[in-house]
Amino acid sequence: MSTEIPEDSIVIAVRVVVHRTEAISSGRSSNHWSIYLVLNDNKSVRLNMRDKTRQEWPYPVPAGAGYGDPATLDITVHEYSHPHSTLCYWDCQPSSNRLKVRDFVNFLLRNNRTYYTMAVGGSGCRFWVYTIINDFSTFSLLENNSPELLYPHMMAYYSERGGVLYKEPTDTMPRGKFWKVEDWNREFRT
The pLDDT tens digits of the residues spanning 154-167 come to 999 998 888 899 99
Residue pLDDT, tens place only, 8-67 = 999 999 999 999 876 555 555 579 999 999 999 899 999 999 999 889 988 888 888 989
What is the bridge-based pairing of β-strands 32-38 and 13-19? Answer: antiparallel
Q: In angstroms, what CA-CA distances link 185 with 19, 113, 115, 163, 188?
A: 31, 14, 10, 46, 5
Whether the model clears a pTM of 0.75, i.e. scores above it, the answer is yes
